Structure 1
């Protein structure tokens, strides 16, 4: 009887256990709700930005694919031209009401598709004609945005032409110049591969295959650039509200989404490299070369889904100048010279050039990650909140007078 009375059940249910379970469940539900709310906020900015960037970039992709099926020389020529133009353009692309940019760029894309189809079917216009159509489609998007802005589409920010446009111009120029240089250095980096490879005497097949890979990379990177914009907005909003934890949480969610998307595209590239190449060419030699470069392309895509989020954090915190210096050092002091050394002195060819430049991305990503991790978020939030309050007081004083 005594032994029986000393026995206890293996699982003992107590009020404390129930409380701990309910607290854990509540925290889990709260985390899921916070995550879902943050995901919606990020996509509200990232979605239109991604659509507009993809639409505009696809103008060059369509032109390049059209030229590639004419002959290999035209593919190389148009690739170098569009590589330089698009990288500079997207480096300076602004944040003007991205949902509107999506509609205008989508219209430009449709017009460009119809023009290419019509002239490819009924006329032999060649690579010069394809370039002219690309120019025309770009101007459609530019004029469309201009007309939208000046005809009442931006009522909260556009009040017509006046001398007030020059007030605070120097401060605006300093901030926008640093931001543009930062993004231009980043956007132009892998396009340098095509230019350097051509100047080092690589074959036309190498140039064609490399240009296909870089164009595909540029196509995919428009998605992380959307998260760059979204991260910048979310971090700036949370810091302006004095919410350091909110800024950190937004960064984590944006980084997670971007990595998941990058992983998906990397898997697609590894699984179907030949299908990717066939968009631009019918030359089996070029297609085989793209297959050989697919691993490097997949790794580049995956890495390039991480660093734009950190760049977005820099935008939100106002670190544009510092990140421009990081980009310059990582890309053009480390990446390009190392790539040239591997290509010229180690005989690794295009793969060596690309591997060296990929190391620049690794250095840049690690540097920005360290800067972000070591950021004093509470201090940043207090300073941002203080600036918002001062600006609000200043605006109120101006209205009263």
Structure 2
């Protein structure tokens, strides 16, 4: 087997030598942007749903805004990280299988992921069922805890929406069929704004109206994606419901769990930054300034996450196809392109300093604090232009468990302790905390660069091929789930 792959790789080099570097670069860049642009638009749209809801809730009342913000930041982001991380395992499997032309297995993997993530969502349900007592335990007032409980109950529907949303996105992206996701996301934003206005402003339904609009906003694109997948949009990869979805679930569970841990460790890292800042002197100003900076960072992060999705698909496809050379070239182009964009934004925010703060606040004390943090915001944006793309490479290759260990070491053994020392011992405040955590991100980025550079990509081709062959079945032998089976 290894001999055949080596011959194949030798053939690749011969073919590659006949193509000029300029043509290769242009071809890869087109493939990258075809994948990255819809992914960016989708993530901006999803991020925008939370912002739109927050804006309308803010006009209902300050207590409602505080309750929604707390439940979103602590509970929903926690669940979002786990579910999105677990769904990235599907990106690994679908990307490599599509590259290996095992098209019929993509539908099976999609169904297996639905089962695994549904079980995971059951374990997350208590967070949203018992939101009120949990908020009280965390020291929130009775009014915030009560309204937070109402928000939590509405978000149960959103939790289950994550299952369909994230998995269908990974499934479609692996086939470069993600324009449908973009169209649905754009329509959803318009509908969400209209419904939010109708239910909260015109009919004054309060927090219930805002949350009802949010539920619709998450399920409308899900229904559209399911219709597209099952009604002819993916004829080669969707062969109907299959009994194979209930077989060989354990490998999917392991890969999904490692994927969930990998992404959650990154999301919790920034949540920890906000929580630590709450214990600093003059914490109200510090939190206001930090929140605005992180919101700006979050919008820019959508660009990097788009390249993360593109890198994952390109690397997975090329490994499944058996092309180590093309996989390495995809990594270089993805990282370099994202870095160039990040560097331009780095210079922009470095020189803009606190002037951008006036868009969000008129409080001069907060503006000064943001100006003081602007250099760290610029550095964060620069690091975020590389680190997520390398995480996407890890997803495409199936290294989620390795990256999870790297994240633990760099974030929680290096970043947070250094941030605590700088912030509290050296009395540098929020700037010291953020500096320490950025150092952790820098170390993580260097570690991922080294891992990616040192990797034997010919071996990764063999691993990917073995994974595809081990889990694949002949399309003709695949048992279908019929109506009589269900009854």
Regarding TM over 0.5, the answer is yes
| 8 Å contact from structure 1 (residues 193, 354) kept in 2 | yes
**SS of structure 1 residue aligned to 2:427:** coil
Q: Residue 80 of structure 2 is aligned with which of 89, 101, 105? A: 89
| 8 Å contact from structure 1 (residues 342, 352) kept in 2 | yes
Partner of 1:250: 330
Which consecutive unaligned segments of at least 5 residues does structure 1 have?
1-25
* More divergent stretch after superposition (112-121 vs 344-353): 112-121
| 8 Å contact from structure 2 (residues 259, 400) kept in 1 | yes
Partner of 1:296: 376
* More divergent stretch after superposition (89-98 vs 64-73): 64-73
Shift in Å at residue 378 of structure 1? 1.5
Pair 1:104–1:149, CA change in 2 (3 A): closer
Shift in Å at residue 283 of structure 1? 2.4
* More divergent stretch after superposition (304-313 vs 103-112): 103-112
Q: Does 1:147 align with 2:223?
A: yes
TM-score normalized by the length of structure 1: 0.81
Which consecutive unaligned segments of at least 5 residues does structure 2 have?
1-15, 85-165, 173-177, 480-487
**SS of structure 1 residue aligned to 2:278:** helix
| 8 Å contact from structure 2 (residues 415, 437) kept in 1 | yes
* More divergent stretch after superposition (366-375 vs 155-164): 155-164
**SS of structure 2 residue aligned to 1:47:** helix
In 1: Cα distance, 2:378 partner to 2:66 partner: 22
In 2: Cα distance, 1:69 partner to 1:248 partner: 50
Partner of 1:9: none
Which entry has the higher C-alpha Rg, 1 or 2?
A: 1
**SS of structure 2 residue aligned to 1:272:** helix
TM-score normalized by the length of structure 2: 0.67
Pair 1:203–1:100, CA change in 2 (3 A): same
Q: Deviations over 1:286-343 (max 9, x none)?
A: 2222121111001001001111121111112111111011112211121112111111
Q: Deviations over 1:207-259 (max 9, x none)?
A: 11111111111111111111111111111111122211111100000001100
Q: Deviations over 1:53-100 (max 9, x none)?
A: 111112223455667899999877765544333464255333243433
* Higher relative contact order (Cα pairs below 8 Å, separated by 6+ residues): 2
| 8 Å contact from structure 2 (residues 265, 408) kept in 1 | yes
Q: Residue 305 of structure 1 is aligned with which of 363, 379, 385? A: 385
Pair 1:219–1:167, CA change in 2 (3 A): same
After superposition, residues 36-185 of structure 1 pair within 5 angstroms as 36-64=26-54, 79-84=69-74, 85-86=76-77, 88-89=79-80, 92-93=83-84, 94=166, 95-97=170-172, 98-114=178-194, 129=207, 133=210, 135-151=211-227, 153-154=229-230, 155=232, 156=234, 164-185=244-265
Pair 1:109–1:378, CA change in 2 (3 A): same
Q: Does 1:266 align with 2:256?
A: no
